[in-house]
């Protein structure tokens, strides 16, 4: 690997200062970053390890009506967390298919978002659950809905010196159900060709998060009544603009999106009925 400096700051303020330097990158789990450095996609001058920052948690805690997932929480943590499984099974399901056990033990939820892959596994459920991201530069912090976080492939609203300190997922206030679906070429250790998550509540409102069918993960909303018809499904999914790549063709992605959106909705409605 190319040579770089390594800093392991203990506070957000120090981390932000270092990240404002030229060619500085943040390191959380490293499962994407080190591959990018090795392949010379990036050649950083300084790598800023966020794992010793006291103000960034590696834990998941419930604060009032929301679950706060610390910026250092790894995917394995989400997979095994009792509250994530109880309130956000679609998020636990998405976390459980990220890479392999070895990857999930290092890869963080925040890193998955910051990497801003259109196929980020955790993005669809976080979108479906109307989650938000807390961003800090050590002095001030701001909260951005995940729906506004992604700007394009690999690009987020993060500005220089900013890091994601936590992710907030609101616990649905009414009876609801959720589901996650993912299409891959093989069962394990593959990027998604199409992924989606769906949240339906008792009022009939439906929110989908869609992955790998546009330049960013997408959010689409509708109602159960609307989605009974093919036209309704078409209107919901009109936002998708998939590309053809080595994993799947655009037409195949569209076709799979339709099929799995419908199935996910059925499963989510089934879950909601079971819960009420």
Partner 1 sequence: MTREQAITVTVNTVRHTITVPASMTLLEMVRSRLGLTGSKECCSEGECGACTMMLGDEPVNSCLILAVEADGSSITTIEGVGAAGMSPLQEAFVEAGAVQCGFCIPGMVVAATALLQRVPDPTLDEVQEALSGNLCRCGGYARICQAVLRAATPEAADV
Which residues sit at the interface with partner 1, rule CB under 8 A? 1-8, 27, 30-31, 34-35, 37-39, 46-47, 49, 51, 76, 99-103, 105-106, 187-189
Q: Which residue, 9 or 217, is less far from partner 1 as judged by CB?
A: 9
Q: By three-state DSSP, how is residue 202 classified?
A: coil
Q: Which residue, 6 or 273, is less far from partner 1 as judged by CB?
A: 6
Nearest-approach distance from CB 46 to partner 1, in angstroms: 8
Residue 27, number of CB atoms within 10 A of its CB: 18
Nearest-approach distance from CB 70 to partner 1, in angstroms: 17
* Ranges of H-type helices in 97-246: 101-104, 109-114, 123-128, 146-149, 230-237
Place of tokens 């309704």: 232
* Rounded (10°) angle between helices 230-237 and 250-275: 110
Nearest-approach distance from CB 32 to partner 1, in angstroms: 9
Q: Which residue, 4 or 252, is less far from partner 1 as judged by CB?
A: 4
Q: Which residues pair with 46 in a beta bridge?
A: 5, 24
Q: Which residue, 31 or 68, is less far from partner 1 as judged by CB?
A: 31
Angstrom CA distances, 244 to 150, 178, 254, 255, stand at 21, 29, 11, 13
Nearest-approach distance from CB 99 to partner 1, in angstroms: 7
DSSP 8-state class, residue 227: G
Nearest-approach distance from CB 194 to partner 1, in angstroms: 20
Answer for the pair 167, 132: CB distance below 8 angstroms, yes or no: yes
Q: Which residue, 49 or 55, is less far from partner 1 as judged by CB?
A: 49
Give, for 62, the enclosing helix (H) or strand (E).
strand 60-63
Nearest-approach distance from CB 116 to partner 1, in angstroms: 19
Q: Which residue, 47 or 90, is less far from partner 1 as judged by CB?
A: 47
């Amino acid at each position: 690997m190319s040579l770089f400096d390594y800093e392991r700051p203990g506070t957000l303020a120090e981390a932000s200062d270092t990240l404002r330097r030229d060619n500085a990158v943040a390191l959380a789990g490293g499962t994407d970053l080190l591959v990018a450095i090795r392949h010379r996609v990036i050649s950083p001058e300084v790598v800023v390890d966020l794992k010793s920052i006291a103000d960034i948690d590696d834990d998941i805690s419930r604060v009032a009506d929301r679950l706060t997932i610390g910026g250092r929480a790894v995917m394995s943590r989400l997979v095994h967390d009792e509250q994530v499984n109880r309130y956000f099974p679609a998020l636990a399901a998405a976390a459980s298919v990220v890479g392999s056990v070895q990857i999930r033990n290092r890869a963080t939820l925040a890193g998955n978002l910051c990497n801003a892959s259109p196929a980020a596994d955790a993005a669809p459920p976080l979108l479906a659950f109307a989650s938000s991201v807390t961003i800090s530069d050590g002095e001030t912090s701001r909260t951005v809905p995940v729906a506004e976080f992604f700007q394009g492939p690999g690009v987020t609203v993060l500005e220089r010196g900013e890091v994601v300190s936590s992710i907030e997922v609101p616990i649905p206030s009414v009876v609801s159900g959720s589901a996650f679906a993912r299409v891959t070429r093989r069962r394990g250790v593959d990027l998604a060709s199409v992924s989606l998550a769906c949240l339906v509540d008792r009022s009939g409102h439906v929110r989908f998060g869609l992955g790998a069918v546009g330049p960013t993960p997408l959010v689409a909303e509708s109602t159960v009544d609307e989605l009974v018809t093919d036209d309704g499904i078409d209107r919901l999914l009109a936002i998708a603009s998939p590309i053809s790549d080595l994993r799947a063709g655009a037409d195949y992605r569209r076709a799979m999106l339709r099929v799995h959106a419908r199935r996910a909705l059925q499963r989510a409605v089934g879950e909601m009925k079971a819960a009420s």
